[in-house]
Amino acid sequence: MELLLEVRGLRISIPTDGGVLHPVRGVDLSVGRGETLAVVGESGCGKSLTAQAILGLLPRNARLEAERIAFDGMSLLGLGNRQWRQIRGRRIAMIFQDPMTAFDPCYRMGDQIAEIVRWHRPRNATPARMTEMLAKVGISAPDERLGQYPHQLSGGLRQRMMIATALLCEPDLIIADEPTTALDVTIQAQILRLLADLQAETAVGLMLITHDLGVVAGIADRIAVMYGGEVVETGSKAAILDDPRHPYTKGLLDCIPTPGETGRRSALGFIPGVVPRPLGALTACNFRDRCARAMPACHRGTVPLMPMEDGRLVRCRLYDPPGAVPVREPQKTLRNAEGVA
């Protein structure tokens, strides 16, 4: 599969009064053309910041370092304003978590969508094309909706509008940051199905950021599980969901109620403790304090991401085979890419 997005060694640090925070500590991700990657983790694991970093949308006080962030073979590091405007929306479109506030309340939906689409794909900015796309994302009476203001639409409708906007820009990659979290449960399923269908139809790459390892990540081809600013396990959907290896991934899956099961296994699992504050550099496994299977080795040094026999990568001492070689040594020489934002 052709590589569309490649992120290598992404680090984000934020200086605060209480010390430097490291919400993202060296993340590698990739999305192939037409592929769906789900990035899964609890809130605070750095998944949203990773998404923002890819589009150069980090908060101004955040510092970004990365060996490589490349899109379609072109580096996204150190881009200027003008170059970003050619990428954002046109090549990589974003769908946000909260559809209630993502649109400007002062303008009619049609005007807002047209404003964005006109810049990237002028031929799509016609009422006919817009109506057609709205119908495609399942909006009834699209003509009427285009004349309405955001506050007159429900959350589900607005998220469909957002998806339509993204598709009208004909991007190669859509980054959806918790696209269903703010919606009612029934609407969540509809929007997810819509995203999955449209992705299959248009062959757009999809990077799906979610905390839901079960349902949401279920539409992905591959899954990357993040914890404390690191990828702790990544592999095919089948590998992760059917045979999780990392204790954290297992914990996440145990938190998901499974219908039809009885007995002790039906008891919902939970992961004790909370995500540690990302203060200072790591000296050991980040998950050791919450891990039921922590052992002395976990407290000694950082844990590398190791390849398994089925091609997946796991960051856990449990799977340390004697003499195995980590995927890559921790990199010391990082390109400082300040000014990307």
Partner 1 sequence: MSTIANEQTNTPATPKPERVSSPGRLALRRALRHTGFWVGGVILAVILIAVLGAPLFTGSDPALQDLSHRLAPPVWHATGDWSHPLGTDHLGRDYLALLLYGGRISLLIGFLTIVLSSLIGVTLGVAAGYCGGTVDLVVNFILTVRLTLPVVLVALVAVAVLGQSLPLLVLVIGGLMWDRLVIVTRATTQQLARRDFITAARSIGSSMPRIFLRELLPNITAPLIVVCTLELARAILLESTLTFLGLGVQPPLTSWGLMVAEAKSQFLFRPWLIAIPGLSLALLILSINLLGDALRDVTAPDGKA
Partner 2 sequence: MGMFIVKRLGVTALVLLVTSMISFSLIHLAGDPAVAMAGERATPEQIETIRRLYGFDRPFHEQYLHWVGNVLEGNLGRSNYLKEEVAPILARHLPVTAQLGVLALAFALFVSIPLGVIAALRPNSLIDRAALVIAVTGQSMPSFLSSIALIFGFGVMLRWLPISGTGSFAHYILPAIALGYYASPAIMRLTRSGMIEVLQSDHVRTARAYGLSAWQMIVRHGLRHAIIPVVSVATVQFGYMLGGSVVVEAVFSMDGIGNLAWLSIRRYDVEVIQAILLIVAATYALLALAADLLNAVLDPRIRV
Q: Which does 48 bind (CB under 5 to 8 A by kind): partner 2, partner 1, none?
A: partner 1
81 binds partner 2 (CB under 8 A): yes
Nearer to partner 1, 200 or 279 (CB): 279
User: Among 8, 24, 28, which Cα is nearest to 68's?
Assistant: 8
Q: Which does 79 bind (CB under 5 to 8 A by kind): partner 1, partner 2, none?
A: none
What is the footprint of partner 2 within residues 91-150 (CB under 8 A)?
Answer: 93-94, 96, 98, 101-107, 115-116, 119-120, 149
* Token code pair at residue 96: 């946000």
266 binds partner 2 (CB under 8 A): no
Binding marks (x or -) toward partner 2, 158..197, rule CB under 8 A? -------x---x----------------------------
Least distance CB 17 / partner 1 (angstroms):
5
User: Among 181, 132, 126, which Cα is nearest to 159's?
Assistant: 181
Q: How far apart are alpha carbons 28 and 7 in whole angstroms?
A: 5
Nearer to partner 1, 280 or 311 (CB): 280
Nearer to partner 1, 279 or 295 (CB): 279
Binding marks (x or -) toward partner 2, 28..57, rule CB under 8 A? ---------------------------x-x
* Token code pair at residue 197: 């269908």
Judged by the rule CB under 8 A, the positions of this chain that interact with partner 1 are: 14, 16-19, 21, 23, 44, 48-49, 52, 57, 59-62, 81, 84-85, 277-279, 339, 341
Q: How far apart are alpha carbons 228 and 303 in whole angstroms?
A: 13
Q: What angle do CA 173, 178, 184 make, to 5 degrees?
A: 130
Least distance CB 58 / partner 1 (angstroms):
8
90 binds partner 2 (CB under 8 A): yes
Q: How far apart are alpha carbons 184 and 319 in whole angstroms?
A: 40
Say if residue 3 is exposed, middle or buried (CB neighbours under 10 Å; 0-12, 13-18, 19+): middle
Torsion, Cα of 22, 26, 32, 36 (10° steps): -40
Q: Which does 101 bind (CB under 5 to 8 A by kind): partner 1, partner 2, none?
A: partner 2
- Residue 64's DSSP bridge partners are 12
Q: How far apart are alpha carbons 282 and 95 in whole angstroms?
A: 32
Expressed in angstroms, the distance from the first to the final Cα of the chain is 30
The Cβ of residue 174 has, within 10 Å, a number of other Cβ atoms equal to: 24
Nearer to partner 2, 90 or 211 (CB): 90
Interface pick for partner 2 out of 61, 86, 258, 283 (rule CB under 8 A): 86
| Cα→Cα distances 60→26, 80, 84, 250, 333, Å | 20, 15, 16, 36, 24
85 binds partner 2 (CB under 8 A): yes
**Which residues are at the interface with partner 2 (CB under 8 A)?**
55, 57, 81, 84-90, 93-94, 96, 98, 101-107, 115-116, 119-120, 149, 151, 165, 169
